[in-house]
Structure 1
């Protein structure tokens, strides 16, 4: 068995916790190929070491339990932007993570150390390798690069860390370009994988627009709500929760759209699947927010494509890796409610166009985002010479 240590900020806290389900899926597939995993992740409100399925999860404590909320839920960058007092936890987080990595790396003697979100977890990976050896690889998701752009003192760290890795991956071509610009190294592009049900036309609720995502600025929900004001024949379902909810509710009241917008909050997997299946169009109105953060891939678009739903999305970040304009969906400029409304109206009123885009998206997802290709690319990053074939 090849022993792998996964170092990450964001790992499920219990069975069924919605954080990083794609990572669990990938680890399960690699386990069938002879890999064995341990995980190192921060505690959340005092959470101790535990297991998720077959995987031991080692949690490092960095504060009293009631303050251990830097990670999970909205994610550390969003929490820090919302409440800068979270910055006070960072030194303790980094020191605790470094100590835990040193101890676990020396004890575990891992063949591979895989760091996810390398700012600041790259330090943990380097210490684990120093303590016990192993091949060091890292996956960048984009949030770490946004932090490096915002805080210039982090740029040298990204270059330094990337130069010491045996291999690198990014989840989209956009993230890869940003990483190359900062570090001078060209990473592999390894996106998320997706399961596809049999291809079919799923019955839609007429006029239903769906969007899914945390209620944070970069998701652009407010622009979709403003677009709805131009679409009297439509109604909008927004699935997700976050600190922007109050602002969105105020905008809904201002535009008198209370009877046509549903904010569901968090829903079960079964409810979410039903919303995907029943929408007539899926929208991802993402923006580049004030901090420079944006969608680095846009996984929710792929989820809609599973059900042959036409996707309309902003032309920002890594979204064009999934939404190819006119082929797998429609791209529109960010923050442009009128253009967004016009694109939605066209899809709602042109059944042939909607069907062509929906099935085009399904075929695109099948060709470019299969779990088989993600698994092979990851094994190649881990050093399997014949895995990429």
Structure 2
């Protein structure tokens, strides 16, 4: 008999579609890490996901399935339903092998859990986590996924109230915030401002994906830089191995070159040490067009770097506008420029925002409202078996 069958802890399968290390994958791992004393977690990822190495290094067991997502490509559309059924069957077999009674779908567009639940005769419990802002998705798909989640999931977990507003008012649909980091490696007694004597360093920490707002940030920065030449901007993130994301980054780099700002605006790859990157910046920007929550914003606040974010969903719930950060209208470049210049010239306001943001997120996103709440939800569903 294998070790998995000797474990006294209930086994939960975490099904995640991330083909790279994403905010969604980091968020669920941050929630499961402190719950490992109570539950055994097994992750199920797409075949070839680069997230596998990160999770294995953390000591998790990993399985892979050849997930197919709905896209505009004809081949994906043809394969979607057959692969959904096949992967649902494989997931059911995997749950049986791992003696798991609970499936946690780490976003509501992954429907394999419902197929596995059906094949189990309803014995498998399903938690559906909604990490996209459904209001921003094509509504034919979003409404279908909402109906399936409300009909078949035992619990629907929303990462913010902005997401919850899309669903029916029912006890099945609950808000569970993503956790803040548990520790700081580079602890500072007082938030250091200014962090750079001659420049004001802006950080845009996000994967290069259309809709994540780097294009707005670049235009706003160029306008602010014309007024304040001591500004600097650094973009950091990955392309997730996708050609369209590489093309997006290349477009941004071409705009910088055309403006002659290669020494002023720089580009980096995926950041391993998020805390260090954030603490080296004077201001963090996030001008995404749609965010259900935003771990980047949460991390900036937690680590004590002033934040400017767009009012695009979840970020508005992470801080208090004008007290612990600046919230600007979505896609409003003029407002973004004004916010950048306001914080860039006011070191005292940056200091106050940094300290207020640190205090606010530690109070609002306590263990009781994040991973402990998720653990209670697991306990309730496991007890039903």
Q: TM-score, normalised by structure 2?
A: 0.80
CA–CA distance in structure 1, aligned partners of residues 155 and 24 of structure 2: 25
**Equivalent pair of 1:315/1:333 in contact (CA under 8 Å):** yes
**Per-residue displacement from partner, 1:9-55 (whole Å, max 9, x unpaired)?**
34688xx99972332332221121x2122233332279999956543
CA–CA distance in structure 2, aligned partners of residues 266 and 48 of structure 1: 16
Of 216, 224, 227, 1:223 maps to 216
What is the total number of aligned residue pairs between the two structures?
354
**Which runs of 5 or more structure 2 residues have no equivalent in the other structure?**
1-7, 240-244
**Equivalent pair of 1:230/1:341 in contact (CA under 8 Å):** yes
Higher alpha-carbon deviation: 42-51 or 194-203: 42-51
CA–CA distance in structure 2, aligned partners of residues 339 and 43 of structure 1: 42
- 1:161/1:301 CA distance change after superposition, 3 Å: closer
- 1:227/1:137 CA distance change after superposition, 3 Å: same
Of 212, 232, 237, 2:234 maps to 237
- What SS does structure 2 have at the residue aligned with 1:168? strand
- 1:384/1:45 CA distance change after superposition, 3 Å: closer
- Residue 84 of structure 1, CA deviation: 6.3
- 1:114/1:19 CA distance change after superposition, 3 Å: closer
**Per-residue displacement from partner, 1:248-271 (whole Å, max 9, x unpaired)?**
1222233332221001122432xx
CA–CA distance in structure 2, aligned partners of residues 110 and 180 of structure 1: 29
Equivalent runs, 1:1-389 vs 2, <5 Å = 1-10=8-17, 20-32=25-37, 34-44=38-48, 53-61=58-66, 80=71, 86-121=76-111, 123-128=112-117, 130-131=119-120, 133-142=123-132, 145=134, 149-150=137-138, 152=140, 155-180=143-168, 187-195=173-181, 196-197=183-184, 198=187, 200-202=190-192, 204-205=195-196, 206-232=199-225, 233=229, 234-242=231-239, 243=245, 244-269=248-273, 272-287=274-289, 294-371=290-367, 373-384=369-380
CA–CA distance in structure 2, aligned partners of residues 57 and 4 of structure 1: 13
CA–CA distance in structure 2, aligned partners of residues 46 and 231 of structure 1: 37
- Residue 185 of structure 1, CA deviation: 6.6
**Per-residue displacement from partner, 1:104-129 (whole Å, max 9, x unpaired)?**
233444342222213233x4245247
**Per-residue displacement from partner, 1:198-256 (whole Å, max 9, x unpaired)?**
55314522311111001112111111111112223211000013311122122223333
- Residue 302 of structure 1, CA deviation: 1.6
- Residue 374 of structure 1, CA deviation: 1.3
Match of 1:65 in 2: none
Q: TM-score, normalised by structure 1?
A: 0.80
Q: Which has the higher contact order (CA 8 A, sep 6+)?
A: 2
RMSD: 3.2
- What SS does structure 2 have at the residue aligned with 1:163? helix
- 1:161/1:277 CA distance change after superposition, 3 Å: closer
**Which runs of 5 or more structure 1 residues have no equivalent in the other structure?**
63-69, 71-75, 288-293
State the 4+ residue runs in structure 1 displaced beyond 6 angstroms. Answer: 16-19, 45-50
**Equivalent pair of 1:276/1:307 in contact (CA under 8 Å):** yes
